Amino acid sequence: MSEHPSTGPTAPATERLPVDPPQVSSPATEVIGVPDQGVPTAAAPTAAAPTAAAPTAVAPMHPSDAAYLPAATPSATPLPGEPGHGRPYVTIVLPCFNEGEHVLQEIDRITAAMNASEFTYEVLCIDDASTDDTLEVLQDAATRYANIRVMPFRRNGGSGTARRIGTQQAYGEIVVWTDADMTYENERIPDLVRILRDDPSYDQVVGARTTEEGTHKWARIPAKWLIRKIAEQLSNQTIPDLNSGLRAFRREVSLPYLRLLPPGFSCVTTITLAFLSNQHDIKYVPTSYAKRAGVSKFHFVRDAYRYILQVLRMIMYFDPLKVLMPPALWLIVIGVVKAVVDMVRHPFYFPASTVLLIVSGIMIGSLALLSDLVVRSRTGV
């Protein structure tokens, strides 16, 4: 969260903070996902050599995010994305917190699947200030696999913080989120990436789970169904799996929404609703879901409450009318009906409750309109 270690150069030193490399362009370099067009020869003077795609720039990091990372240390050999190693097409962000017992098995699964594919890649392993030997296991893996990049946090930030910073610091054009607890079918990561490569109409591909094997199963299933239905109603979209942790998306599309990600588990819900609310198409691919290895960090009451709040927050952020206008109209309608009944029963008498219903509806409706004006006047997200 050993198969065939890479025969390329190894990285004995763990990278602490990735540095944006200078742009490198080479006509002989093949860009993954683009057919090789060959290099023109001297016999064809009118043909121009194809140019390599512009390298992915590391997004600027907010000072609060930079506080999680230690000072940068030099690496003895080029790491993925650095000059001399090549620019990967896929970055797999793997948050790890106390996953030392099984994270190496997860890395083996991921690297085996990616090595068998046609994509260049890096696995960005983020140690979220683990209290066990997770960091040592990751550092050892970095010396055995050329495509591993380790980013240790100085303090625990949560899975959302790890995914946000990992996406910002990714070198790949396509970013994959997954977990290190052996629950997801990480062997299918290349399939998700191929969909994005072959169909530009989709900006995100989500592994929609067909089974539920998590803790508190008796309560999670109805709670997740209710939260998903609320999200579908507010977003006017069908969402087979709202909070799947296995997904691939275009990094450039996601960058404006990263600052909205909360630090906890609801980050996956946030990125789903952010894409849907801004007309970015998502494709759902059925996938299985296994029982996790190790101890779950999910707290049912606390995290379910946060999920509901995050759904409402995201819809409020992008379309406040859907959240505020329905209760406003209901209050006004109930108040008017009650006023008519009161007038019939007691002419020219309006109880305070009737006035309160109507005034409350008008106030909430006014707030909804003002919020909508603010949303529509924003130049960015």
Structure tokens at 169: 């610091």
Q: Is 271 exposed, middle or buried (0-12, 13-18, 19+ CB in 10 A)?
A: buried
Contact call for residues 80 and 54 (beta carbons, < 8 A) = no
* Amino acid at the residue 178: T
Beta-bridge partners for 121: 90
Using the 8-state DSSP alphabet, how is residue 148 labeled?
Answer: E
Burial 227-261 (b: 16+ CB within 10 A, else e): bbebbeebbeeebebbbbbbbbbbbeebbebbebb
- Largest Cα span, the chain: 99
Q: Is it the case that residue 242 has pLDDT exceeding 50?
A: yes
Contact call for residues 223 and 201 (beta carbons, < 8 A) = no
Q: For residue 355, what pLDDT is reported?
A: 93
Residues 289 and 179: their CA atoms lie apart, in Å, by 11
Residues 196 and 192: their CA atoms lie apart, in Å, by 7
Percent of the chain with pLDDT over 90: 51
Q: Is it the case that residue 14 has pLDDT exceeding 60?
A: no
Query: What are the tens digits of pLDDT across the range 274-324?
Result: 999 889 999 999 999 888 665 665 666 776 777 788 888 888 888 899 889
Backbone angles phi, psi at 151, to 5 degrees: -130, 100
Mean pLDDT score, 25-29: 38
Mean pLDDT score, 59-88: 64
Ranges of each domain in the chain: 63-318, 320-377
Q: For residue 7, what pLDDT is reported?
A: 40
Cβ of 226: how many Cβ atoms within 10 Å?
Answer: 13
Q: For residue 202, what pLDDT is reported?
A: 97
Q: Is it the case that residue 22 has pLDDT exceeding 60?
A: no
Q: For residue 196, what pLDDT is reported?
A: 98
Contact call for residues 99 and 133 (beta carbons, < 8 A) = no
Burial 134-169 (b: 16+ CB within 10 A, else e): bbebbbebbebbbbbbbbbbeebbbbbbbbbbbbbb
Beta-bridge partners for 95: 126
Q: For residue 35, what pLDDT band results from cuts at 50, 70 and 90?
A: very low
Helices vs. strands in the chain: H and E counts, helices first: 11, 7
Residues 2 and 108: their CA atoms lie apart, in Å, by 6
Lowest mean pLDDT among 10-19, 74-83, 136-145, 229-238: 10-19
Query: What is the overall mean pLDDT for the chain?
Result: 80
Residue of 17, 2, 136, 146 lying closest to 72 (CA atoms): 17
Structure tokens at 260: 């909205």
Greater confidence (29 vs 374) lies with 374
CATH class of 63-318: alpha beta
Q: For residue 107, what pLDDT is reported?
A: 95
Residues 88 and 91: their CA atoms lie apart, in Å, by 7
Where do the DSSP E strands lie in the chain?
Answer: 90-96, 121-127, 148-152, 174-177, 204-209, 247-250, 282-287
Contact call for residues 212 and 289 (beta carbons, < 8 A) = yes
Residues 323 and 328: their CA atoms lie apart, in Å, by 9
* Amino acid at the residue 39: V
The residues near 314 (Cβ < 8 Å, ≥ 6 apart) are 260, 269, 270, 273, 274, 277
Query: What are the tens digits of pLDDT across the range 328-366?
Result: 999 999 999 999 999 898 888 889 999 999 999 999 999
The SS3 call for residue 32 is coil
